[in-house]
Amino acid sequence: SWRIGSLYVQPGRHIVQAGGVDVALTYKEYELLCALLEADGRVLTRDTLLSTIWGYDFDGDTRTVDVHIRRLRQKLGEAGSCIETVKGIGYKIGG
């Protein structure tokens, strides 16, 4: 399991909590969060996230990742601030 600030994730049981409150995520949002946590502070590019989570090489627009990250941050509330944007590259989990 992972704990970063007020964010708690237990992958085996699909539990995500922010500030002690359960957060309901879609499957893709959950996978995205886990991929960022597994990267352990390393930056994941949008392309890496697309191929990892969506399982294909994406031609053109990588906004799909941005939209999911935005939704994920909204659902996590204050805890969502641990997801950092690395301008022009991708995303990482800070700590």
Instruction: Write out pLDDT tens, residues 25-81.
Output: 999 999 999 999 999 999 999 989 988 888 866 565 678 899 999 999 999 999 999
Q: How high is the pLDDT of residue 51? A: 87
* Residue 86 pLDDT class (50, 70, 90 cuts): very high
What integer pLDDT is reported at residue 18 of this predicted model? 96
Task: Go through 64-90 and write b for each residue having 16 or more CB atoms within 10 A of its CB, e for each that does not.
Answer: ebeebbebbbebbeebbebbeeeeeeb
- Supply the pTM of this predicted model: 0.90
Strand 90-93 relative to strand 44-45, pairing: antiparallel
pLDDT of residue 66: 93
